Amino acid sequence: MIAATLFCSCSDDSKKGEENTCPQDACEGWCGDLKSDKDHCGNCETQCNPDEYCDAGACKKTDSCTQDACEGWCGDFKTDKDHCGNCETACNPDEYCGDGTCQKTDSCTQDKCEGWCGDFKTDKDHCGNCETKCGSDEYCDAGTCKKTNSCTQDKCEGWCGDLQTDKGHCGNCETKCGDNEECIIGDCVPMVSCEEGEIQCYCLANEGTPDCTDTYRKDSSPLCINPLAGDSCGAKSCADLGKQCPIGWTCNQTDDEQYECGCAEGLVTNSNTCLDPYSSQFCGVTQETISTDLSCDSKELCNGTECQCAQGLEKCGGDACVDVLSDNKNCGKCGNECDEYATCQNGTCVCNDGYSRCDTERCADNIKCQESDYNQHCGAKGSANDPDEKSDNWWGIQCAENEKCKLVEGTYQCICPEKWLMFDEVCTNPDTSIQHCGATKDYNGINCRVNGYETQCMVGNCVCSGGLTFVAIYEDNGVQKYTDRSNEIKEASKKRRCSL
């Protein structure tokens, strides 16, 4: 590619003797750059082959190109107007190549010339204006061509600058960063857009030297440091990351644009500590209750006001939270205590190995369950492990007829079934007892026996056979009368009979 063609006038007889005005390398009828022109590569005579390009005045094979390559060309598709975006596209004279696309020169927002858009201050082919092109041993500085050997910074051929930050010479003279990259400490890295007010950092003071120059997060994305974050409160730069707020504290900006650490909303300040009223350690804490022990126990959770039993647990017997599915003293529900030979499993008292329930609520040693009649050994404490019968009440007691062995207030006793009453040390059913028919705790009932008649007690009432009615006989003003009303029978004299 011929970057520029300026014909010398030295062959024109009318111009003989005039000074050659070519600012670059000159050959007869040609002005250009011997370092890059493949038809004048290194000197006026050398022309590169079709599969070669000219680099630093030497013909090189195109397949050795480390940039974009086409036959006989090596360069940058993003900026070369003769190879804009690909090998085939050449921009028109009134266009320039920007980011691999031909664009009208008049749309350029920088300095512009015909077919070019860039910066007059630094572009050596348009240094200061559209016409001025610096020599091969010069660079463009502030719009003026200067000798490269006068550069006091990093220098490449025709360039002077900072290899640590220059996108066109990042780290060395050959590396050029892409449009979405920037040069950070000599490496091309992806650009990251931080939010307004955040600080973009590729290195941090606490990762390297305090001036943040030797440490570079090459393998990581850039960091966006927020001055209002708790771990960088008041950060001013990548080298000044502000202060670290205590755990649970937030960073707040004051009216005078200072930054201070403080408790987050909803937390209670106690000296240099933030107390969380939803925590198990400070449940429901307020400014007035800071000195109070408000901690929940291991089986409780805090709802922000008070400690509550964790899911699946219930409060039984005061403040204790228990699992009614497994607690022996509260099995299935509060207060339901399993006996000494049982274990609470899934809310049910289950007899331990070697023990069985006979006909009572209590688990008994298998050798005591005599044909499932546990009433013969009510309260027995013996077991197969105590064969010598040395324990107190080893065999227990035998319950009387109609009695049942029940657990009463922690001990096993022979008691009457529910609604039955004890008369003469015998459990009696007042619904069927002939002698105590209809009895209650405060009333001994009626004796249904009547000489010469067959009677029975049914649901607490005396009943005669043969269609007769059970009545009581009483006198009213010397007249003998009969009544079958149950309340009058109770109050009447003992004269009773079966009557039509």
Q: State pLDDT tens for residues 18-66.
A: 445 776 788 888 888 788 888 899 899 999 998 888 887 889 988 888 7
469: containing domain = 422-499
For 76, 77, 85, the CA distances from 97, given in Å and listed in that order, are: 10, 8, 8
**Residue 297 counted as domain residue:** no
**Residue 233 counted as domain residue:** no
**Residue 375 counted as domain residue:** no
Do 244 and 264 form a contact (C-beta atoms < 8 A)?
A: no
pLDDT tens readout for residues 140-149? 888 998 888 8
- The rounded distance, in Å, linking the Cα atoms of 229 and 246 is 12
User: How much is the pLDDT for 193?
Assistant: 75
Quote the distance between the C-alpha of residue 308 and its chain's center.
Answer: 24
* Number of domains making up the chain: 1
User: How much is the pLDDT for 89?
Assistant: 92
Do 158 and 137 form a contact (C-beta atoms < 8 A)?
A: yes
- The rounded distance, in Å, linking the Cα atoms of 302 and 227 is 33
Count how many Cα atoms sit within 13 Å of the Cα of residue 293 in the half-sphere of its side chain: 2
User: How much is the pLDDT for 204?
Assistant: 57
**Residue 466 counted as domain residue:** yes
Q: What is the largest CA-CA distance in the chain?
A: 180
**Residue 291 counted as domain residue:** no
- The rounded distance, in Å, linking the Cα atoms of 494 and 500 is 19
- The rounded distance, in Å, linking the Cα atoms of 158 and 56 is 12
User: How much is the pLDDT for 11?
Assistant: 39
**Residue 451 counted as domain residue:** yes
**Residue 465 counted as domain residue:** yes
User: How much is the pLDDT for 466?
Assistant: 75
List of the chain residues with pLDDT < 50: 1-19, 208-210, 213-219, 370-373, 383-390
H or E stretch including 487? helix 486-491
Place of tokens 């029978």: 489
Residue-wise burial string across 198-209, b where 16 or more C-beta atoms lie within 10 A, e elsewhere: bbebbbbbeeee
Do 272 and 300 form a contact (C-beta atoms < 8 A)?
A: no
User: How much is the pLDDT for 128?
Assistant: 92
User: How much is the pLDDT for 19?
Assistant: 46
**Residue 480 counted as domain residue:** yes
